Amino acid sequence: MKIDFAALVRPKQGVLVLTAAEGRKLGQFAQALDKTLGGAIGRALAGAPRFTGAKGQWLEIVGPGGGLGRILLAGLGKPADLKAEAFETVAGDAVRRANATGDATLAVAIDLPAGAKAAPAEAAARAALGLRLGGYRFDKYRTKLKDTEKPSLKSALVLTEAVAAAKRAYQPLAALADGVTLTRNLVSEPANVIYPESLAAECRKLAKLGVKVEVLGEKAMKKLGMGALLGVGQGSVRESQLVVMQWLGGKKGQAPVSFVGKGVCFDTGGISIKPAAGMEGMKWDMGGAGAVIGAMAALAGRKAKANVIGVVALVENMPDGNAQRPGDIVTSMSGQTIEVINTDAEGRLILCDAMWYTQERFKPQIMVDLATLTGAIIMSLGHEHAGLFANNDELAERLAAAGKGEDEKLWRLPLSEAYNKALNSPIADMQNIAGPGAGAGSITAAQFLQRFVKDGTAWAHLDIAGTAWSNADKPTVPKGATAFGVRLLNRLVQDHYEG
Ligand code: BES
Ligand code: MN
Ligand code: ZN
């Protein structure tokens, strides 16, 4: 679907999206249009008493005249509360409505109600972002879709009185949409297509955006002493990979921001094998790595003025004659030894080496890891918030605020010595899961990671097991891979680490 901006005039055909504020208040454009259409909008409103203009409401006006196929009127809520971001939701919702109906073209009018503080150009840019995110589909393996099941939209226009400014405002958002789309594609792919080496090859493609990409194979990781990471991958015929991505758009020599992602391309649980039901979902156990890759694409795509390192640990966790056994003791790159009680607690084993490597090599000012780490976080927070753990209040607050702003919400959970103790092992420096009865599985997992955070590194861990995949359609986040984390990381950098 082609997306463009055009002047705010009545389109000659197709679907037109208009907006009304609470109290059914139309903007100037809609009011003028209603006159040229002989009062079609007013009549429709008169016949729909429950349409008040509240946020999330829609009114469909069929055959309004003037060549238009339909008008979709969206409620915006109170003008005083209206933010430009509201147009993301309106456009994201509209694009799927139009695709379902079979429209070939769609136009979204940016027609702000009186009293709205949002800038028209920003609202228009946000509408374009909403079209991209809401129109996302992963159909590449559906070879028998009927024409009537395929998305019908060929093009979409955002109509605004500020075309040039809207185009400028959209540039960084287009890069963000590219990053989100990349992540959604990677996370949606099955594990026979996206495995450590093929995912590393996808990372290599970021070089065209100016990202420096290095790939370490098993030999290089062995040399570095990454026994924890390598142990997880040893039962797989696929070679484990560690990918280092550098976007150096900031001041030369300035300590970088770093993101570390869990990239378990498939998690069977290993010898501590998972039950069959739902195991297919473990293809998205690389959602943390996917988010880091998409964030790097977004940051490079919009030429962020920051130094950012993205490190992703890519493995496949398989049962096999050569697989790691429960009870095995591995030595991590940090030198600390780990008794592997449960081979299904593999995410922390790969992250601990990736995090240590990141700190040793880059001395980052902050390190944020993202991981589909624990089923327990779904028990705690469901699919609304991802878990946030941090050793630094400022970083935690910045992340929480970025998440709120991008609708990728976080909720902070505690870390403390009592939880940490539960990981002590009688035979090694620690075990990879807490002893029986400890509870708090997401917290003890975070405590494990914290044992690999160096003094002085501001660190946060985001447990995205409940948010990386969605079974519910939302306007800008259709069912499936959400790309949770891409927007949040992009915003974090934009608000605090640029310039
Ligand atoms: N990848 C899983 C966590 C997960 C579960 C992600 C459900 C998404 C949905 C992780 O590797 C895992 O298996 N964790 C175990 C840890 C346990 C063995 C301590 C879990 O949560 O059950
Ligand atoms: Mn697991
Ligand atoms: Zn896992």
Give the count of beta carbons closer than 10 Å to the beta carbon of residue 361.
Answer: 13
Query: 347: CA distance to ligand 2 center in Å?
Result: 6
Structure token pair of residue 279: 């195991």
Tokens standing for 12? 């000659």
What is the rounded distance in angstroms from the CA atom of residue 403 to the CA atom of residue 410? 6
The identity of residue 462, as a single letter, is L
> Of residues 25, 55, 274, 303, which has the active-site annotation?
274
d(CA 59, CA 79): 18
Neighbour tally for 415: CB within 10 Å: 17
Burial of 296 (0-12, 13-18, 19+ CB in 10 A): buried
Please name which of 113, 124, 3, 10 lies closest in space to residue 68, comparing C-alpha atoms: 10
**97, 348, 487, 491: the active-site residue:** 348
Question: How far apart are the C-alpha atoms of 431 and 337, rounded to whole Å?
Answer: 8
Give SS3 for 13: coil
The residue type found at 226 is M
Segment 333-351 mean pLDDT: 99
Q: Taking residues 240-266, what's their average pLDDT?
A: 98
How many of the other CB atoms lie within 10 Å of CB of 154? 11
Which atom of ligand 1 lies nearest, measured to the CA of 272? 18
Q: For residue 268, report the distance from its CA to the centre of ligand 3, in Å.
A: 8
Residues 6+ apart with CB under 8 A from 100: none
CA 466 to chain CA centroid, nearest Å = 12
What is the tens place of the pLDDT at every residue in 118-155? 999 999 999 999 999 999 999 999 999 999 999 999 99
Distance CA 261, CA 293 (A): 8
Q: Which residue, chain included where needed, has tokens 């972002």?
A: 129
Is residue 495 very low, low, confident or very high in pLDDT (cuts 50, 70, 90)?
very high
> What whole-number distance in Å separates Cα of residue 42 and Cα of residue 53?
13
For residue 41, what pLDDT band results from cuts at 50, 70 and 90? very high
Q: What is the mean pLDDT of residues 39-45?
A: 97
Helices then strands, counting H and E runs in the chain, come out as 15, 20
DSSP state of 477: B
In the block, residue with structure tokens 């899961």: 433
All residues with CB under 5 Å from ion ligand 2: 267, 344, 346
Residue 420 is predicted with a pLDDT of: 98
Q: Which of 272, 344, 352 to mutate to test the pocket of ligand 1 (most atoms within 8 A of CB)?
A: 344
Token output for 216: 């370490």
Alpha carbons 316 and 274: distance in angstroms, whole number: 14
Residue 89 predicted with pLDDT over 90: yes
Ligand 1 atom 17 nearest Cα: 345
**In the predicted model, is pLDDT for residue 342 greater than 90?**
yes
Å from CA of 344 to ligand 1 middle = 7
- pLDDT of residue 499 exceeding 90: no
DSSP letters along 274-291, please? PPSTTGGGGGGTTHHHHH
Q: What's the whole-number mean pLDDT along residues 96-107?
A: 95
Distance 262 CA to ligand 3 centre (A): 8
Ligand number nearest CA of 379 is 1
pLDDT of amino acid 55: 97
CB 342 within 8 A of CB 375: no
CA neighbor of 448 nearest in space, from 358, 334, 360: 334
Closest C-alpha to ligand 1, atom 8? 465
Residue 19 has a pLDDT of: 98
CB 416 within 8 A of CB 440: no
DSSP assignment of 180-199 equals: HHHHHHHHHS-TTTS-HHHH
Q: Residue 402 has which token pair?
A: 């970025």
Q: Which atom of ligand 1 is nearest to the CA of 264?
A: 1
Residues 59-79: tens digit of each pLDDT:
999 999 999 999 999 999 999
Ligand 1 nearest-atom number relative to CA 376: 21
CA of 270 to the centre of ligand 2 (A): 8
| Ligand 1 mutation pick, 315, 369, 373, 374, max ligand atoms within 8 A of CB | 374
204 counts as catalytic: no
402 torsion bin: left (phi>0), alpha (psi -120 to 50), beta (else): alpha
Instruction: Give 267 Cα–ligand 3 centroid separation in angstroms.
Output: 5
Ligand 1 atom 16: the closest Cα is on which residue?
345
User: pLDDT per residue over 167-206, tens digit each?
Assistant: 999 999 999 999 999 999 999 999 999 999 999 999 999 9
Nearest to 274 by CA among 263, 265, 262, 266: 266
* pLDDT at position 14: 93
Neighbouring C-beta atoms of residue 411, cutoff 10 Å: 14
Ligand closest to CA 465: 1
User: Tokens representing 184?
Assistant: 């959604």
What single string gives the DSSP state of each residue in 416-455? -HHHHHTT--SSSSEESSPPTT---HHHHHHHHHHTTPPT
Largest CA distance in the chain: 83
On average, the pLDDT of the chain sits at: 98
Index of the ligand 1 atom closest to the CA of residue 445:
19
Q: Which ligand number lies closest to the CA of residue 374?
A: 1
Predicted pLDDT of residue 309:
99
Instruction: Tell me which residues have their CB closer than 6 angstroms to ligand 1.
Output: 267, 285, 342, 344-347, 372, 374-376, 433, 441, 465
Cβ neighbours of residue 419 closer than 8 Å, sequence gap 6 or more? 434, 438, 440, 443, 444, 447
Residue type, 366: I
- Active-site residue, 348 included: yes
pLDDT, tens digit (0-9, with 9 covering 90-100), for 361-374:
999 999 999 999 99
Nearest ligand 1 atom, CA 267: 1
State pLDDT tens for residues 232-245.
Answer: 999 999 999 999 99
